[in-house]
Amino acid sequence: MDFSFGVILHNLPYLIAAAKWTLLISLVGMAISIGLGVFICAARMSRARWLAAAAALYISFFRGVPLLVQLLIFFYMLPHIGLDLPAIAAAILSVGMCSAAYTAEILRGAFQTIPAGQTEAAKALGIAPASYWRRILVPQALRLGMPSLINELILLVKVSSLASVVGIGELTRVAQNITGQTYRPLEIYIAAAAIYFVINLIISQLGRLAERRMQLAGGARLGV
Amino acid sequence: MMMKRLTRTVAALALSIGLSGAASADQLADIKAAGKIVAATEMHFAPFDILVDGEYQGICRELFDEVAKELGVTAEYLDLPWSSVLPGLEAAKFDIVNAPVTITAERMARYSFALPMGNATVALAKKAGDSSIMAPADIAGKAVGSQKGSAQLDQLKAFSATLATPADIREYVNIDEALADLAAGRIQAVANSMPLMGYAAVQRPDTFELVMPPFGDPKYFAWVARPGDDSASLIAAINEALLKMHADGRLDAINAKWLGAAPELPVEMPAVQ
């Protein structure tokens, strides 16, 4: 087996240029996932029944339909009803909106593990609901949900490869194209795998850092 | 009040639909107004569409550049996985597919084809300098490789049966293995579609040589646009450009550059079964 590092070095600039698309989709997708996820989680836990039902419907649709199919619908079917999204917008939106469904459920799970006694105690102490949420519930939920959230964000980076079906030259697509021309799949896919690995290593390290900081800050605030 | 607002919304909606309808009534006029034509293909099919160091190259690129020049617009190229190319065309994500699409009756019914720009008929590759095979009929009695389960193999079998001494046909899982056996001298020729055989000969001129002409049922490659009246003027303009390139030799020259020989290309739409 001849393994050529030369092929990797020669094509690395193209792979890195493609990884910028992967990063763009992932980072904006994450922002949508968390922003929208918090909102959907709140709706899902709302006492207003129609709101909770709408959130449940959203979650079951985006969780229940393969992301690839969602992406094809966003890009190729919406123009038929007059809604024409650019490829990159379709990719980011579908990745972000799908991930938001999971984020919402991760957060809901985290909220539910906080003992109801805390709510009663907060009421008894006369803490205003707004500051109870902001200072007691949300920091705990974030801390409890953090490992699963990091998991979800890493998954999101990996599913960004699906954006190739709408014509985005992200990392996986460009690796495929280079393979088609160099006939060196092993080298090229190993290089692509290494780039994905580095991106996700950074995310998991940032996540670990965030977990540690929250533990310190949360601990101090709660007087533990 | 409520009713009035509703009517206004409906009117605005109808207007916007009407406008978008009007904007695509004549695709050629839109393209000329924009000064560019957006073409999509999968850049993963040598020698027609390939990416070399991030740059799009190949027969379709060079031919389409010339066509765009004739139309007086610049060409912009998109790379899509093949499964997304025809859906993208239908969703009007780009103007035309400049991939080598094999002309079939089913596709004819669904899309508008331009004139053929490539020939996909079966042709032979022989060892470079082998003077015993100068025409397809010379394979009589010789060992010829082809790909198992391929349409080209059926064409080869049918052709071989018409010869006085049939060829000794060997079936390979992969056409590269057949070419390797040809290079090693185990077989005397390989049969597959003309562009693949020609490209192999151009890539390795010391080892392989293309045998012209192709044989069997003729098959052609062409570009496709959306069906209907909107694209009629675009297809007509592209055909006019292709005919001009037929006449001044550009079409043959670009094909020959990549395939080693210029295939026969019809100047009118071929009939398909």
Compute the distance between CA of residue B226 and CA of residue B75 in angstroms, rounded to an integer: 18
Distance from C-alpha of B106 to C-alpha of B152, rounded to nearest angstrom? 20
Residues whose CB is less than 8 angstroms from the CB of residue B216 and which lie 6 or more positions away in sequence, other chains included: B121, B122, B152, B155, B156, B158, B159
pLDDT tens per residue, range B58-90: 999 999 999 999 999 999 999 998 888 988 999
Q: Given an 8 Å threshold on Cβ–Cβ distance, is B91 in contact with A80?
A: yes
Q: For chain A, first and last CA: distance in Å?
A: 59
pLDDT range class, residue A217, cuts 50, 70, 90: low
Contact B111, B227 (CB under 8 A): yes
Q: Pick the closest to residue B36 from B68, B70, B60 (CA basis).
A: B68
Which positions in chain B touch A166 (Cβ < 8 Å)? 80, 84
Please give the ipTM for the structure prediction: 0.71
Any idea how long chain A is? 224
Question: Exposed, middle or buried by CB within 10 Å (0-12, 13-18, 19+), for B181?
Answer: middle
Chain B (19-38) residues lying within 8 Å, Cβ to Cβ, of chain A: 20
Strand pairing class (B143-147; B189-193): parallel
Task: Check if the beta carbon of residue A99 is closer than 8 Å to that of residue A41.
Answer: no
Q: What is the Cα–Cα distance from A181 to A111, expressed in whole angstroms?
A: 51
Element (H, E) at A166: none
Find chain A residues with C-beta within 8 A of B44's C-beta. 176-177, 180
Question: Domains in chain A, ordered, with CATH?
Answer: 5-218 (1.10.3720.10)
Q: Which of B259, B223, B221 is nearest to B71 (CA)?
A: B223
- How does DSSP assign B203-249, residue by residue? H-TTTEEEEEEEESS--EEEEEE-SSSTTHHHHHHHHHHHHHHHHHT
Distance CA B74, CA B78 (A): 13
pLDDT over threshold 50, residue B20: no
DSSP string, A13-43: HHHHHHHHHHHHHHHHHHHHHHHHHHHHHHH
Which of the four pLDDT bands, split at 50, 70 and 90, describes residue A224? very low
Query: Environment class of residue B88 by beta-carbon count within 10 Å: exposed (0-12), middle (13-18) or buried (19+)?
Result: buried
Share of chain A above pLDDT 90, in %: 70
Chain A residue with Cα closest to B54: A14
Chain A contacts in chain B segment 48-107 (CB below 8 A):
50-54, 78-81, 83-84, 87-88, 90-93
- Please report the pLDDT score of residue B167 as a whole number: 96
pLDDT at B173: 85
Reported as a single tens digit per residue, the pLDDT across B174-212 is 788 899 999 999 999 999 999 999 999 998 999 999 999
For residue range B108-130, list pLDDT tens digits in order.
999 999 999 999 899 999 999 99
CB-CB under 8 Å, B87 with A76: yes
